[in-house]
Structure 1
Amino acid sequence: MTADHATTQFTKVQDVVQNYRPSKLFKAPPTTTYTSIDFDDTGEFLLLSRSDDTIQLYNAKAGAHAKELKSQKYGTALARFTHHPMSVLYASTKIDDGIRYLSMHDNNFIRYFKGHQGRVTSLCLSPSGDHFLSGSLDNTVKLWDFRSPHPQGELSFDAAPYLVAYDPSASVIAIASTPAQQILLYDLKNYDKPPFAEFDLLETEKKYIHLGQRPAEGWTGIEFSNNGKYMLISTNGPGHYLIDAFSGDLIHYLHRPSGNTHRLAPGDVLLDGNASYVQADACFTPDGRYVVGAAGSSKPGLLVWDAQEPEGKGRVLEPTVDLPCTKPAAVVAHNPRHNQLASADKELVMWLPDMDLT
């Protein structure tokens, strides 16, 4: 795996995107599922939350499992790398609704962030500093500084702000409320002022009911593209929304032909005591041109949509590439530094371009 990685790391995404193939499979206990996935800034390490209250660390460059950290008392969700080597952030699922800052080097907690009165549904680190955002079922978004256990700011809403994101410049924050079917944009320096933009997706969602999309349900993630042009609202339904980050206009409805996934989104009712929300199963490639996402619960593998494709009828964009795999995907991430993908559901799959196909 290492040799292929070195060969492809400087190749443009557009030259290899159709040639990704599974390169490594990591099995897990049959009763567990992965709920979040994240690469570190260097692209060397991969971090996943798992439903058995563990955090799993992998060396993505070497293609090897590195460490397991247990959090049986508090549970684990939304595990994220910080900008500090081997320090991670994750949300609790038991006991309280706190956020924990952990050193993986010695498995000691650096700090606890307490204040939410409902389950944390979204965590997003600032691209350029020691700050992060959290959204929660308590109808608040909190702004945090890693150096303080207390929130530095708070926004309250009538409808739950399930999802949060920074833009690439770390000057704008986006807050998405599934029940309200709205995306609100705030100037970070003036977050206590009203949002400077409000994007309403109500009419947009109605257009795709015939495809099986459920309005006001199932949003699983919000993400800005690295080039700042697009926003992606991913869903557990039969498609995702690719939106102009400046106007809020729909560019493409990224259709998933196999339909809905089987995983719960923030806000869905957790009827099973072992059930958990899942992070988005779609993401941008680093160049901002492509979206890579799960094919769906009835079809394993990944799909790729090209944002530069001409708009189709009703702005429906079908997948440009179907990446074959025998394993389904519930969470998906693209390595920020190298041409590598990772996807996981009950098992973890690492993907590299097959150079024999180029």
Structure 2
Amino acid sequence: MASTPMDLDLPDASSPANGTPSTSLNITRTLGSSSLPSTTAVTDVIANYRPTKLFRRDEMKDGRPQPYILSLDYDDPGELMMTSESDETIQIYRVRDGKHDKQLLSKKYGVKLAKFTHHSSSIIYASTKQNDAIRYLTTHDNAFIRYFEGHEAPVTCLEMHPGNDDFISCSKDNTVRLWNAGTRNHTGLLYLGMPYLAAYDPSGQIFAIASPPGGTVLLYDHRNFDRGPFSEFDIVEACGGIDPGYALQGWTKLEFANDGRSILLGTKGGGHFLLDSFNGSLKAYLRKPDGRSSRLAPGEEYVVNGGSNGVNVEGSGDCCLSQDGRFVFGGTKKGVVVWDTLGQPGEDKILEPVHTLEDTREAAVVAANPRFNFLATADKELVFWLPDPHA
């Protein structure tokens, strides 16, 4: 394997990740300076991703340990990357420069599931303290625009509409709420049993709701959601034969492929389910090479004496589809693996990874950039990945 030098953002007193500005982070390889065009076909570079930039936050000054990264998200142009973290901060990074941009604090309300709206300077996120409101703020001045109130239990998923500032929230209060960022009141309400995950199809005309304890994925027409789901996928029937332990629990990710033909249903078990979005059948079981995720799945309770298989920390999913929708990136205990969804699984429907992208760190949270050949992974540290032009 060709080697790629890792650029390290060392934690020091001047690091912006510690709340104070820094003059330079010594980035030596960026999207802007790389000889590899960011528009190169994904299939030509998928095997050559290397960890290129590491952001490491030191232990807190009051002795608390290094925080966990709970979620990753990109703005629409793919220029900014945002994390929500277990120390109740939001960190924003400039992708092209490979530099930390700013830190936002949410000590009063807590923070998780931070998402960009379609304006790169505006975000929404779920509260973890005081109440279960969703908060909408501008990042340039850290000012709240409005609160979205109504949920009476923790929010488990936030999903932005692909074309406008509508969004969906799922909650442990057994409701799904539809919102528009322009008004504080919800525009739609569904009562469903434990609806922990949501996803829009690429057109924005359809959304899916996943209920792990119910073993179902429900599809709705966004304009006529009040008529009920037009399709219901039985995950136990489709996938229970291949991974029965995670056909009714531990679902971590719900995502449509960009051609609308497949749905990725991530789990914290031994693999992920790739479903046909038209009939709900199992296309392939994406088997992980090294077992289960350490993060809690949305809606999952931490169990002290076994049951959680890890730390009491949530995550936004350790798998995602690539920019072209063909490949799936999956986090492991040491780096990332890649499955080719066009590969032919055997009669048992099992699809093995076609590439291993090695690193020494766990990739507990994974996100692919929507515009560039760029990948981010995280646990306590944030890693930027680029294809190696010399591989």
TM-score class normalised by the smaller sequence: over 0.9
Superposition deviation, residue 217 in structure 1: 1.2
Residue in 2 aligned with 1:40? 75
Residue in 1 aligned with 2:247? 215
Highest CA radius of gyration, 1 or 2? Answer: 2
For residues 173 and 208 of structure 2, the distance between their equivalents in structure 1, rounded to whole angstroms, comes to 18
**AA paired with 2:272?**
H
**AA paired with 2:320?**
C
**AA paired with 2:170?**
G
**AA paired with 2:318?**
D
CA contact (8 A) 2:239 2:282 kept: no
Alignment partner of 2:49 out of 20, 28, 32: 20
> Are 1:237 and 2:274 an aligned pair?
no
CA contact (8 A) 2:198 2:209 kept: yes
Superposition deviation, residue 40 in structure 1: 0.8
Q: 1:5 to 1:223 in 2, by over 3 A?
A: farther
Percent of residue pairs identical = 48
Residue in 2 aligned with 1:132? 167
Residue in 1 aligned with 2:201? 167
For residues 231 and 89 of structure 1, the distance between their equivalents in structure 2, rounded to whole angstroms, comes to 25
Residue in 2 aligned with 1:191? 225
> Are 1:7 and 2:36 an aligned pair?
yes
For residues 70 and 265 of structure 1, the distance between their equivalents in structure 2, rounded to whole angstroms, comes to 25
CA contact (8 A) 1:8 1:353 kept: no
For residues 366 and 103 of structure 2, the distance between their equivalents in structure 1, rounded to whole angstroms, comes to 20
Equivalences for residues 1-358 of structure 1 within 5 A: 1-2=29-30, 3-5=32-34, 7-29=36-58, 30-157=65-192, 159-209=193-243, 213-270=245-302, 275-295=312-332, 299-357=333-391
Q: Which runs of 5+ in 2 are unaligned?
A: 1-28, 59-64, 305-310
For residues 13 and 100 of structure 1, the distance between their equivalents in structure 2, rounded to whole angstroms, comes to 35
Residue in 1 aligned with 2:4? none
State the Cα deviation string for residues 272-294 of structure 1 (Å, max 9, x = none): 8x933211111111111000010
Q: Which runs of 5+ in 1 are unaligned?
A: none
For residues 85 and 67 of structure 2, the distance between their equivalents in structure 1, rounded to whole angstroms, comes to 7
CA contact (8 A) 1:5 1:338 kept: no
Q: 1:278 to 1:125 in 2, by over 3 A?
A: same
Q: 1:5 to 1:49 in 2, by over 3 A?
A: farther
Greater Cα offset, 101-110 or 276-285: 276-285
TM norm structure 2: 0.87
For residues 5 and 166 of structure 1, the distance between their equivalents in structure 2, rounded to whole angstroms, comes to 33
For residues 227 and 184 of structure 1, the distance between their equivalents in structure 2, rounded to whole angstroms, comes to 19
Greater Cα offset, 25-34 or 187-196: 25-34
For residues 129 and 104 of structure 2, the distance between their equivalents in structure 1, rounded to whole angstroms, comes to 16
Q: How many residues were matched structurally?
A: 350
CA RMSD between the two structures:
1.4
For residues 230 and 146 of structure 1, the distance between their equivalents in structure 2, rounded to whole angstroms, comes to 28
For residues 191 and 208 of structure 2, the distance between their equivalents in structure 1, rounded to whole angstroms, comes to 14
Q: 1:5 to 1:79 in 2, by over 3 A?
A: farther
Q: 1:183 to 1:5 in 2, by over 3 A?
A: farther
CA contact (8 A) 2:76 2:120 kept: no
Superposition deviation, residue 246 in structure 1: 1.1
Superposition deviation, residue 226 in structure 1: 1.2
CA contact (8 A) 2:68 2:313 kept: no
For residues 241 and 214 of structure 1, the distance between their equivalents in structure 2, rounded to whole angstroms, comes to 10
CA contact (8 A) 2:238 2:281 kept: no
State the Cα deviation string for residues 252-275 of structure 1 (Å, max 9, x = none): 100002010111001211358x93
TM norm structure 1: 0.95
